[in-house]
Structure formats: C-alpha cells, structure tokens
Amino acid sequence: MAPRRVAFGAALLAGIVAGIVAALGVIGAVALLHSRAPTPTIAGASTFVAGIVGGILYGIYGAGGRRPALWLWLSMLVLATGWSLLVSRVHAPVGGPNVPYVVGILMPLKQIGGLLGLVKLGPRAFPPALVRVFIVTHYVAAVLISLIVPAVAPARAQRRRAMPSLRG
C-alpha cells in the first residue's frame, strides 16, 4: 500500500472547518445538558482551537506516513481522555494569567503545571456535575474533529515517480 499524503494547507483549512462545526456541536451538547458552564463563548473558542490543533496534527501525520486519519483519531481520543482525567482528578489551579477565550484549553495545561510545581493548585476540585459536562464536551469535540478533518482534506495515495533513464 502506497503512503497516503495530505497537503498541509488543506489539513489546516480542514481543521478550521472542523473547529467551527465541532464548536457548534459542543455548544449544543452543553445546552442539551442544561449546564451554565462552560459558557458558549469559552466552549466554542476552546473547541475551535482544538479543531485547528487537529488540522495541524493531521497535516503532520499526512506528510510523514500511512493512515493519517487513524493517527488523528488516536491523538484526539488520547487528548480528550487526558484532559478529562485532569479535570476530574486534579484540583483547579488558582492565579496566573487567563486568556479569556481559551480557558478550556489552558485549564488542563495549568493543572499539568500544578502537578509539576509551576502553578499553585487550589484546595477544591471541580464539582462532579461540571466534570461530567467537561467530559462530554471533550469527547464530542474529539469525535467531530476526527470525523470532519479527514472528510474535508482526504489523504491521497502518492504516485510513484518513474526513475529517470540513464540512457541519453
């Protein structure tokens, strides 16, 4: 089987499209769960950034090897699981800079910083009802991004180039 390649620009554009669609899906999931947190702005912006990250990963996987869609699925599910474990098991960080619209992406990174001793962790964990909402949003985003990015920028089999003849 020949390697399947993806143009990086197409993968990035697919990530943007997936980020927009996944953001709408996550906002809808939060609304269906009747939760006031995360806010639609925070949920949408963080999911949009996750879509761009998915497009970048797909472009990297598509430039280097076989089955970039499979590797994207695995990466997105690992990230969703990791983020969900952090939110459910590690106390919320306190202080430090907040970037208003990407709090959903930064919160787990701050928690990792807290585990490494770089950021102070607070005395309280997230409420269980909020943890459930976060877990749902992480997996909704991961599944939508993993479905949409390869559909918008499908990998193409690379053609083998004929070897130039040494005869004049």
CA angle at residue 44 from 132 to 31, to 5 degrees? 50
Cis amide bond preceding 128, omega within 30? no
Q: What is the DSSP letter of 126?
A: P
Chain position carrying tokens 């990035």: 12
Query: How buried is residue 129: exposed, middle or buried, by Cβ count under 10 Å (0-12/13-18/19+)?
Result: exposed
Residue 119 near residue 93 (C-beta atoms within 8 A):
yes
Rounded distance between C-alpha atoms, residue 69 and residue 52, angstroms: 15
Contacts of 90 (CB under 8 A, 6+ apart): 111, 114, 115, 121, 125
Residue 153 near residue 11 (C-beta atoms within 8 A):
yes
Q: Three-class SS of residue 93?
A: strand
This model's pTM is above 0.85: no
Per-residue pLDDT of the chain (168 residues; tens, 9 = 90+): 555 688 888 999 999 999 999 999 999 999 999 988 888 888 898 899 999 999 999 999 988 777 899 999 999 999 999 988 888 888 877 766 666 666 667 777 778 888 888 878 888 777 888 889 999 999 999 999 999 999 998 877 666 565 566 665
Type of residue found at 21: V
Residue 2: the pLDDT is 57
- Return the domain boundaries, the chain: 4-156
Radius of gyration of the chain (CA): 19
Residue 4: the pLDDT is 66
Q: Three-class SS of residue 121?
A: strand
